[in-house]
A and B are shown apart, each in its own frame.
Chain A
Amino acid sequence: MANAHTDGYYFAPPSKWPVVGSLALLFMGSGAVFSVNFIQPVGYSLLAIGFAILLYMLFGWFGNVINESESGLYNKQVDASYRWSMGWFIFSEVMFFAAFFGALYYARVYSVPWLGDVDNSLLWAGYEAQWPSNGPYLSGNPEYNFGTMSAMGIPALNTFLLLASGVTVTWAHHALRAGQRTQLIVGLAMTVALGFIFLGFQVYEYIHAYSDLNLKLTSGVFGSTFFMLTGFHGFHVTLGAIMLTVILFRCMKGHFKPDQHFGFEAVAWYWHFVDVVWLGLFLVVYVFV
């Protein structure tokens, strides 16, 4: 342990969790295949088994990591590894979202205007391209007409909620550094709460869209992009909120040290990332429809 750069490598003992995880994905993958083809109940059953195994794996695996971390097996280098990897993981998530934002951009800037131009009038006579659009085929038919979410209603509120949650999680982080457990737990609890409230509103918004606005996943390319982007984001908020909850429980059990608590920070980073994505969404999906 002589040199400053690295004070020894932590050799992880053999672990069964990776194969368990792969088994879970085998079940989930095949379950998904059956489900999307409406081959039931086998589809849902496989999915359920897969999820069960996955949960088992997550508990076991993270359990190991947490114990190792709490029993002080991790050193500065391991900590740095976690930081690097979380950063790159978030980058990969950014690129995942980029695909869907790209789709929205392409539909708005290219495909819809093209479909409305003279060349294509041969195929889609009388279609005027304007955004939002459900495309030349449905747009003729009034029963498919749909309304769009007004940005200033729930979306604005949700924006506020997420921004607020960003503040509370930062507050909690400061508290953790200052070693004030109660503030930490309160701040974190508030963050979790805000996250779930956001999700509640999101669900309400979807119901509203389907029942009142006639805005559906099937409402042409607008519906597709709208629900794909907001839905994929909502899925990430759900993950984030669950991870925050786990962290909250760990804090309650007195985990983390003021100087070593990357578990907490990782989730905080993730939460901020989800937050930023929402701001982008709010602008391109709600404000500038």
Chain B
Amino acid sequence: MASSSHANPHAHAGDHAHDHHGAPAGLAKYLTTTNHKDIGTMYLWFSLVMFFAGGAMALLIRAELFQPGLQVVQPEVFNSLTTVHAIVMIFGAVMPAFVGFANWLIPLQIGAADMAFPRMNNWSFWLMIPAAILLFASFFVPGGAAGSGWTLYPPLVIQGGISTDMTIFALHILGASSIMGSINIITTILNLRAPGMTLMRMPMFTWTWLITAYLMIAVMPVLAGAITMLLTDRHFGTSFFNAAGGGDPTMFMHIFWFFGHPEVYILILPAFGIMSQIIPTFARKPLFGYASMVYATASIALLSFIVWGHHMFTVGMPSAGQLFFMYATMLIAVPTGVKIFNWIATMWRGSMTFETPMLFAVGFVFLFTLGGFSGLVLAIVPVDITLHNTYYVVAHFHYVLFPGAIYAIMGGTYFWLPKWTGKMYNETLGKWHFWITTIAFNITFFPQHFLGLAGMPRRIPDYALQFAEWNMISTIGAFILGFSQLLFVYNIVMTIRSGKKAEDKPWEGADSLEWTHLPTPVPYHTFETPPVIKPLAHQH
């Protein structure tokens, strides 16, 4: 105690020194920064770039699928586009975006001065650069980028060329980055909360991230193990996934999906958190059923470990297995439903306004639920037999991923932009962005349900004639959707450049610390001495 109390002046001296004098400027600042706000910002920009890169690939995919026949790319290039599109969107766009939010918001929401491990925090970000380089470079090596689909099933992936190894090592590095990031986040939440900020007083966003980080630490290493075995099967003559040697390709699927299903909840739980911040704010009413929201999130996370088999109903597993995985999967509808209902109950008897963040929130609740239902349809084993690996699945996961994850990211960006930049974004432009995106999204992906039901397989560059109409419509929607995202970028850039000043609490109903305890824009250092938290009105 004694030692540390006289240590702190040092600490602060040191820190102010670097703040005001001799602080590296420009890019150098970002290379060496240990500030959670800088790092959060870097994560968010990185994610935006990746979103456009992955989206550009999606547009190439859609262009090829505009009509029957091969017009745009060779079949194997199409497979590469599909594969890298998925990896970039999941590991490059969505996950980093949520880590960016975590960096910016968690310390502010729990009254901490920064993340627990500022240097490791910066490393987690900068690790993504070599990974991205490996991934994109793989397009330009002989044979082209990996074309096995993002699920990397052997033996197909064993046939793959050097690009497959680049993808594998890229994923190893991304895994390391995610694990470090998650450890940092968990430690921050568990150990750096301000006095009085009990777990059950934490804002929902922080809660969902606590659980997400746990999921990541649990499953990222499993993915690393799986792809390591792919590597040794490819190059060192092991036979984990080779029947001739006593292994089994199905073994890979089990290990991969043990990671893969929790992964998809890693992509959605932080989104749930963001929704639970936005909806109460614009309903001007505390979140309904806070405790049940926490328990629901936790049960979703726990259930996610025992449902992976629903991706493998057609491998020929015993009925007992199919039944178990079907029941477990269906069960997830219950806690997820609880969250949906709580959000709607939060709106109930509220006093709502519909600024852009709220529009994205409402769009989220509506369209995510739609995606959830199609998921439930897929969970029914016999139905999945006809729908597995058709466009119905593609429609399902884009409904949960775009109006799910991406809407949360965009809504959250509009929501916190004033706090981050001190400037207000252009509301009309934001509303336009929401409506065009929502309409275009449905034009793109709703018809894919029909394609799937009619039996169109996924991951094909060319298709039979009865699929032509819906594909053409889907492609047209996709291009509108894609280019309408430029509005988002434009709005952000203009806000930073020339947005009008935002007041400290631009949102009347906001009640978490970053709004109630801090000026706008937030200073470079916050809560150097932690605030003391009293229970909020609704928490007794």
Q: Do chains A and B touch in the complex (CB under 8 A)?
A: yes
Interface residues of A (CB under 8 A from B): 1-19, 21-23, 25-26, 29-30, 32-33, 36-37, 61, 71-77, 80-81, 84-85, 88-89, 91-93, 95-100, 102-103, 106-107, 110-112, 114-115, 123, 133-138, 217-218, 220-225, 227-228
Decide if B4 touches A29 in the complex (CB within 8 Å): no
Q: Besides A96-B222, A224-B238, 17 other CB < 8 A contacts?
A: A1-B8, A9-B113, A13-B18, A15-B32, A15-B34, A26-B130, A30-B169, A75-B7, A84-B116, A88-B187, A92-B220, A95-B220, A96-B225, A99-B229, A102-B258, A224-B229, A224-B245
Given contacts A8-B529, A95-B222, contact A218 B234 (CB under 8 A): no
Query: What 8 pairs across the A-B complex have the smallest Cβ distances?
Result: A99-B225, A135-B246, A75-B4, A137-B244, A11-B15, A111-B248, A224-B238, A221-B246
Interface of B toward A, CB cutoff 8 Å = 1, 3-5, 7-8, 10-12, 14-15, 18, 23-24, 29, 31-34, 112-114, 116-120, 122-123, 125-127, 129-131, 133-134, 162, 165-166, 169-170, 172-173, 176, 179, 182-184, 186-187, 190-192, 194-195, 217-222, 224-226, 228-229, 231-232, 234-240, 242-248, 250-251, 254-255, 258, 525, 528-530, 532
Complex interface: chain B residues within 8 A of A3 (CB): 195, 530, 532
Nearest CB in chain B to that of A120: its residue = B243
Are B123 and A18 interface neighbours, CB within 8 A?
Answer: yes
A107 contacts B247, C-beta separation under 8 Å: yes
Interchain CA distance A95-B235 in the complex, whole Å: 24
Q: Judging by beta carbons under 8 Å apart, are B127 and A112 in contact?
A: no
Given the contacts A14-B32, A29-B169, A102-B255, A92 and B246 also touching, CB distance less than 8 Å: no
Give the CA-CA distance A32 to B167 in the complex, in Å.
12
Contact of B246 among A10, A32, A220 (CB under 8 A): A220
A-side contacts of B169, CB under 8 Å: 29-30, 32-33
Partner of B237, one of A8, A29, A218: A218
Give Cα A93–Cα B173 distance, bound, in whole angstroms: 15
Residues of chain B within 8 A of A11, CB atoms compared: 11-12, 14-15, 34, 113-114, 118, 525
- Contact B244 A136, beta carbon cutoff 8 Å: yes
B11 touches A73 (CB 8 A): yes
**Separation of A1 and B186 alpha carbons in the complex (Å):** 24
What is the bound-complex CA distance between A3 and B527, given in angstroms? 14
**SS class, residues of chain B in contact with chain A:** helix
**Are A84 and B237 interface neighbours, CB within 8 A?**
no
With both beta carbons as reference points, the residue of chain B lying nearest to A6 in the complex is identified as B530
A165–chain B nearest beta-carbon distance, Å = 25
Question: How many angstroms between the C-alpha atoms of A80 and B236 in the bound complex?
Answer: 42
Partner of B173, one of A25, A36, A92: A25
17 contacts between A and B (CB under 8 A): A2-B529, A8-B8, A9-B113, A9-B114, A11-B114, A13-B34, A14-B34, A33-B166, A73-B11, A85-B117, A91-B217, A92-B220, A106-B248, A107-B246, A115-B243, A221-B239, A228-B240
User: In the complex, which residues of chain A have a beta carbon less than 8 angstroms from the beta carbon of B528?
Assistant: 8-9
A13-B18, A80-B191, A228-B238 given; A111·B247 CB < 8 A: yes
A5: chain B residues within 8 A (beta carbon) = 194-195, 530
The chain B residue with its CB closest to the CB of A3 is: B195
A13 to B246, CA, bound (A): 54
Smallest CB separation, A193 vs chain B (Å): 30
In the complex the two chains form, is A95's CB within 8 Å of B219's CB? yes
- Contact A9–B32 (Cβ < 8 Å): no
B44 → chain A closest CB, angstroms = 18
Q: Which residues does chain B contribute within 8 Å of A26, judged by CB atoms? A: 129-130, 133-134
The answer on a CB contact under 8 Å between A29 and B173 is yes
Chain A residues with Cβ below 8 Å from B5 are 1, 7-8
Distance from B243 Cβ to chain A, minimum over Cβ atoms (Å): 6
The smallest C-beta distance from B467 to any residue of chain A, in angstroms, reads: 35
The answer on a CB contact under 8 Å between B126 and A19 is yes
Instruction: Give every chain B residue within 8 A of A111 (Cβ-Cβ).
Output: 243, 246-248, 250-251
